[in-house]
Structure 1
């Protein structure tokens, strides 16, 4: 049966098509299409969809307000009467669980609704506006960042549509509890002028930030979810968005520092870039002081000026010291590597001290069952591998600082 029905199993990622639509012309333009990076959070762990021939799933969003169209088409569908009771997967049923209410399944209705997008204006307060000059010499592009809270009129309905993108691009994503008024939102739009002279907005990126309480009367904002939509990647928009978040919070005396919830490797690299660019001109991070090692002065200036916590300030120090180290100078490069490796090895040294304490209070057989069998050579290999991966990440950040 598996061999016979194998052609009715497709990878959900291969049959899904997304668009951000301004007009009916965009629907016919293949260049406006983009696909998901994952679909297991909707269609299950194996990401397969069963029961259809020539399946296509279309999720089109009006570019500004994200009014949604769902189209499901196929040439044939399995008949339970002819397949021993096997049924095709309920595609719309699964999508209905995650799509915001109000989506349409009639394409003509969706196209007619696009007229309403002409008057769409971003919700909230304008924080930041900037231009990007394309590398191909084309016209400059303008982007704007807006700040919203749960109480911002009209925003939560828009956010309910916006957050659906998380499921296709952020692993282990979850929808946030918007009943908690400590959530804040930062949205980014591309702003364009039409040939008729009107202004249109296209959703490009967004971030959510939760304002945690910090004793006794402070806040510790934590960046939670950050997403740049595929058509707007490789433009430097995420760095601009992170900087806008910083600029919003660093002027607030009640904010201690800004943290990030479980950052991905890509986001950590962007965070490192923004923080290193910001701290590079602080007196504590002057090249002469970098070679003296990480200092309380660096941690204090990074926090007071840019709300960077101590752990992240240490990464910034390591990035900027590497940037200023002549790696052709064997001794200078060796001193740098040892400094970073000592920091990487600190948790394991702490664990060794704890094991020595245990050895004094446990019976020999109990201690033998507890102690790690990792040898010195294996520890050295782990540390070396960990350092090389970290230096590679740092060099990517430094390259961006130097060239962009």
Structure 2
């Protein structure tokens, strides 16, 4: 049996994802409302790969933000802490680890933080208003606005340093960008709401960053690098509006070659596929009767010219829309679709096969007898199994996008 000290120390180990809680504070009542609490999706970028915190009993870590300008409060509570002098181990410096990642001027006093909430009374988004829209949320009409900004706007640097800290808890392998690089552009989305006193205020909803890469000879290639809708505002379609607003800023500019994405997560790629498919479904070359004839250069050209979509993404959009237009109950029609997609998935394998064949042709007969391939290619049977698995995973993903397209069509 383990001794009492070991058992006690085990009780002082907690999961960072469970003990950390966020709130976006619009009024003082939100400080105590359980409905305003939301949790991180990951904490390893602050607490280490195991995402654990040691040394506290009944630990609760609080990271609160004012809803508009994101004034920040950091605090923690616990009922017991490990005694380093008597038990020979140190408790983790929780607040220090988090504070290192936060913007300057964090509040460690709740009274100081509550006093700072008054700053939201005069807070207005930085930058240029580029899009506004309204949504019905459970019977309530809510108004949202998207702003485009850069570091030349007074106060925006401090605001961005606060909002970017959310990346650590929701974006895998997140990195803060170089805000001194003028090629970055920033897109922020806010809810414009009215307080019970009749005052208009803004609440932060999410943001995106776009880097304008140079493209030879005189073009730019905007790349979406970071994209985040905060958890309390998800599943409302706000990501779609933000991405469409970004698109509208670039697609009409002649100097823009295409719009790309940096290492997209599965969730963002799904959003991107939906928005691109929604847009391309309005183009003549992507009509159902054209889709069944196969992917062609007209689709590539039209997707690029109208929406600045590159060839690779245009192909994905084509496959989604063709599946939508395919009668899967018709064996021949469905089989033609599957073969078309599998042929595309099989291209990397065929390329490796061709490379291997070129090597063998270049060898002399005696060299061929001693040549041992180390290309790692699967057998034909193995490749068929791999291809079948890849296809079904892809089709399931496409069906998720199609379901959303059908929902949008019904609105």
Aligned twin of 1:17:
21
1:29 equivalenced with 2:30 (yes/no) = no
8 A Cα contact 1:58 1:72, kept in partner: yes
3-state SS of paired residue (2:140): coil
Aligned twin of 2:399:
395
In the TM superposition, what whole-angstrom CA distance separates every residue of 1:295-333 from its partner, at most 9, and x where no partner exists? 100000000000000000011111111111111111011
Long gaps (5+) in structure 1:
none
8 A Cα contact 1:151 1:181, kept in partner: no
1:92 equivalenced with 2:95 (yes/no) = yes
1:126 equivalenced with 2:129 (yes/no) = yes
8 A Cα contact 1:69 1:104, kept in partner: yes
In the TM superposition, what whole-angstrom CA distance separates every residue of 1:243-273 from its partner, at most 9, and x where no partner exists? 0100011111100000001111111111111
Within the candidate set 106, 113, 116, 2:119 is matched to 116
- Spell out the pairing of 1:152-301 with structure 2 (5 A cutoff): 152-301=153-302
CA distance in 2, matches of 1:212, 1:365: 49
1:151 equivalenced with 2:155 (yes/no) = no
3-state SS of paired residue (2:279): helix
1:102 equivalenced with 2:108 (yes/no) = no
In the TM superposition, what whole-angstrom CA distance separates every residue of 1:86-122 from its partner, at most 9, and x where no partner exists? 1000112111210110011100111111111111101
C-alpha displacement at 1:195, in angstroms? 2.3
CA distance in 2, matches of 1:198, 1:247: 31
3-state SS of paired residue (1:172): coil
Aligned twin of 2:142:
141
C-alpha displacement at 1:53, in angstroms? 1.1
C-alpha displacement at 1:369, in angstroms? 4.2
CA distance in 2, matches of 1:249, 1:358: 45
In the TM superposition, what whole-angstrom CA distance separates every residue of 1:312-370 from its partner, at most 9, and x where no partner exists? 00111111111111111110110011001101101110110001112234544774242
8 A Cα contact 1:56 1:74, kept in partner: yes
8 A Cα contact 2:75 2:95, kept in partner: no
1:311 equivalenced with 2:312 (yes/no) = yes
8 A Cα contact 1:358 1:367, kept in partner: no
CA distance in 2, matches of 1:72, 1:13: 14
8 A Cα contact 1:23 1:111, kept in partner: no
CA distance in 1, matches of 2:380, 2:69: 59
CA distance in 2, matches of 1:179, 1:349: 45
1:374 equivalenced with 2:344 (yes/no) = no
CA distance in 1, matches of 2:7, 2:343: 57
Structure 1 length-normalised TM = 0.97
- Spell out the pairing of 1:1-12 with structure 2 (5 A cutoff): 2-12=6-16
CA distance in 2, matches of 1:167, 1:33: 17
Aligned residues: 401
CA distance in 2, matches of 1:268, 1:27: 35
C-alpha displacement at 1:69, in angstroms? 0.3
Structure 2 length-normalised TM = 0.95
CA distance in 1, matches of 2:370, 2:255: 49
CA distance in 2, matches of 1:364, 1:168: 54
CA distance in 2, matches of 1:109, 1:267: 37
CA distance in 2, matches of 1:152, 1:253: 26
CA distance in 2, matches of 1:374, 1:284: 37
Long gaps (5+) in structure 2:
none
